[in-house]
Structure 1
């Protein structure tokens, strides 16, 4: 089996920690939610479950896991963008810098997730 890269482990750990955080303390993520999105708490829980499923899938090398993980990152990108744009006027420079650094960070996370090893397809005899 292909050896897992450091980047793959970074995604697994980040998604595991973040996923648990979303489920244990959803209110901590409420201020990151754009007002135009409905069902804030429900979406926070959903994103936490999705992150944990993605992390578990990458660990288990499920075939769908790399694509699913990239899809999760793409799905949360608009909220991260909204948060970054709206952090500019809040007077908290550290929060604003972190918010803006998160946006380009998603690119290597997507790459590492996409390049994560998966189990080879089983080919039935005679196929």
Structure 2
């Protein structure tokens, strides 16, 4: 991994079941177990999938016409395998888009389906990583 290609976040415990996620640019998100308003890890996974494709679609379609409505809904089912392991299945990303009447809106409407497909098939790092099943390694540093 080169520093040019590497992406990272740091997650720090603030109390039992409560964490802060920080990126290298200073952004902070609250993470929790689902007992309060904070996002759970699964919700952040869904947000990452939808947000990644959403950005692709927004950047391209907005060059053609400003959307009147741009909403992305992402859902899936959390299941437990026969061996007791948790995972998500039936992941869906729904784009609810509305563009204004006229030539600009027509150009955006025409581009949207192509860009949604392109994002899924090639551009969105998050959904492509999930679909390819990239291995995750875990390890401990510090006190053992």
Normalising by structure 2, we get a TM-score of 0.26
Normalising by structure 1, we get a TM-score of 0.28
Structure with the larger RCO, 1 or 2 (CA within 8 Å, 6+ apart): 1
- Name the structure where helix makes up a greater proportion of residues: 1
- Name the structure where strand makes up a greater proportion of residues: 2
